[in-house]
Chain A
């Protein structure tokens, strides 16, 4: 598991990539990835290399959403594989995030 963050679009967009199992062990790293980003308008969580997602990962996504402004946040979850997508769908997270 690893979490990498990078800024795009002149620092307006933060891209967070999660590799491997996205579970509680990613907690610290995931939070650090966005915590100190100032002036970011939108977020992309790239799960292209994530193999698995558990409920604490869903919790972490909610924390990110809260950080990004709650209902006014713009967060896009991209490149989900079938298993990951299924978990997001069961939880109806498409009501809170843009899932591509």
Chain B
């Protein structure tokens, strides 16, 4: 049995000696004192584990001594057991009231005495463990908060950066934890206009913060280099898909503001309906999510199609994560889409909408705990968007964009591929990469990729491999086509494809001429009907699609040479029309891997 240090305070020396002997005989160390003052002093000096205290003593009585000792012990638990010959309930209760933990009535029962000492010792052990663990947790928590504060500083620089302070943007982020799962990015395009991205990562805290890093990097990096939003989204999706574990993704709304076209293009995946409010405040359009969140689909399945809406000066776009709609009040009810719409419709002026939403949502939530992040952003189409100066609200992220923006303007390059290369190598990404060095071509990177992929696969499949596009007319034929393509490509011995790219231009515009020649037999063509393009011969070769992008497109020689001229900036055709045609045309996938 363990030995405990026991303090015994009793003015009756006979009683005290009897008790000391019992306690000592049970293997404990005993300190004896004969009044309250001595008890307090002895407690300070010896730091006993248990105190046995007589109630009535001269000088300082037991109850007062107990109060003092408990005060000294502070948060340590020192059990004090009163020794008393009192037996009426009220007196016993008073003992406990003064801070005592138990009482023992005279004459003492040895067995009960030992049992109580043991029991209280267990209790103080438990108390010590508890205090220790509490301190550990507090220390760990302090450490974690410290780390999070540093990480949050980095996160905020990354996730809520760019030109969020531009005069056409208002936003509100209310963090649930130190980090929230919401990301808000905005960057000016080198050509004028702006990209805005609101993302809501699954979960909160670190997992969300980690995903935000590559997302923001890609968003700012590619926007500054002049890439279109579709390419940016494609890249972000690819990155998130590869770095996030399955089941983690980012619900997003991405916006491409084009002040010169007075339009906005929107891509929404997994976020609630958003609203476009006209400058007059009367008409509201609802924008709905049409895609899966970012980071769910692999690159080849990802759909980057955007929806375009006219957006005049002063029109306002409101975007939010689901936190606003799912905000709960005390009764656990959700704020909901209807109330949000109601708030917007009832605002006195479009200028007040942002404040009204904030006020109404905050009133609704009241004192209840916030469930989710409630991020809200208002984007206004404004004249200031024409401004492409670097210092106009943009932060450092893209400061160097214009310094080297001129890029290679006048150049020509030929790439000749022999059979052994054609068997396995897909040159389209490489070619695209070279073209992307020209800033003016970056904005139409997606279209260029399509043109290059279409023309190259035509040359390879119809020219070198001799496949007939008519095969693709039926589902079975389609399968057969790709089976044959695989078979012939893998056993290819002779043949070539030669790609020639030539670019001329200046800061404002330019022309890219793409010539692709193959070793095949060619086909009978008539350039004069290419642009009418309802003919099956041409639609099988993806020509209508290419016509929508190229300034001119013609076949040469025996039909084994095709020449496409692409002029930038592309004016008349929208990305939207293009996306639809791209989707309808399957053969571009052949080169996509």
Contacts and interface: CB of A to CB of B under 8 A. Distances in A.
Nearest to B200: A55
B272 A63 contact: no
Contacts of B248: 59
Given A56-B202, A56-B203, A66 B290 contact: no
B271 interface: yes
Interface in A6-55: 24, 55
Between A62, A90, A95, A96, the greatest number of chain B beta carbons within 10 A of the residue's beta carbon is seen for A90
B169 interface: no
A92 B249 contact: no
Contacts of A84: none
Given A56-B203, A58-B202, A62-B296, A92 B247 contact: no
B251 interface: yes
A91 B202 CA distance: 12
B247 A91 contact: no
A60 interface: yes
B290 A91 contact: no
Interface in B260-290: 269-273, 289-290
A55 B292 contact: no
A59 B247 contact: yes
Contact of A92 (B200, B246, B291): B291
A91 B246 contact: no
A61 to B, nearest CB: 8
A93 B296 CA distance: 10
Q: How large is the interface on A (under 10, 10 to 19, 20 to 34, 35 or more residues)?
A: 10 to 19
Contact of A90 (B202, B203, B249, B271): B271
Given A91-B293, A92-B291, A95-B292, A62 B246 contact: yes
Interface string B557-586: 000000000000000000000000000000
Contact of B272 (A24, A56, A90): A90
Contacts of B203: 24, 55-56
Contact of A60 (B247, B272, B293): B247
Given A55-B251, A91-B289, A96-B296, A63 B246 contact: yes
A92 B202 contact: no
Contacts of A59: 202, 246-249
Nearest to B270: A91
A31 B409 CA distance: 56
Interface residues of B, number: 21
B269 A92 contact: yes
Contacts of B247: 56, 59-60, 62-63, 66
Given A56-B202, A59-B202, A92 B289 contact: yes
Interface string A60-99: 1011001000010000000000000000001111011000
Contacts of B246: 59, 62-63, 66
Contacts of A58: 202, 249
Nearest to B296: A62
B202 A96 contact: no
A24 B205 CA distance: 14
Q: Is the interface of B mostly helix, strand, loop or mixed?
A: loop
Contacts of B271: 90
Q: Indicate the member of A24, A71, A92, A96 with the most B CB atoms within 10 Å.
A: A92
B208 to A, nearest CB: 11
A96 B303 CA distance: 13
A73 B24 CA distance: 76
A30 to B, nearest CB: 11
A60 B249 CA distance: 11
Contacts of A56: 202-203, 247
Nearest to B250: A55
Nearest to B181: A55
Contacts of A71: 301
Given A59-B202, A90-B270, A96 B292 contact: yes
B383 to A, nearest CB: 34
Nearest to A55: B202
Nearest to A93: B292
A92 B251 contact: no
Contacts of A93: 292
B292 A91 contact: yes
Nearest to A91: B270
Contacts of A24: 203
Contacts of A60: 247
Interface in B206-252: 246-249, 251
A92 B301 CA distance: 14
Nearest to A90: B289
Contacts of A90: 270-273, 289, 322
A77 B291 CA distance: 19
A18 to B, nearest CB: 16
Contacts of B269: 91-92
A92 B272 contact: no
A91 B248 CA distance: 13
Interface of B: 200, 202-203, 246-249, 251, 269-273, 289-293, 296, 301, 322
Interface of A: 24, 55-56, 58-60, 62-63, 66, 71, 90-93, 95-96
Given A90-B271, A91-B251, A92-B290, 4 more contacts: A59-B202, A63-B247, A92-B291, A95-B292
14 contacts: A55-B200, A55-B203, A55-B251, A56-B247, A58-B249, A59-B247, A63-B247, A71-B301, A90-B270, A90-B289, A90-B322, A91-B289, A92-B289, A92-B291
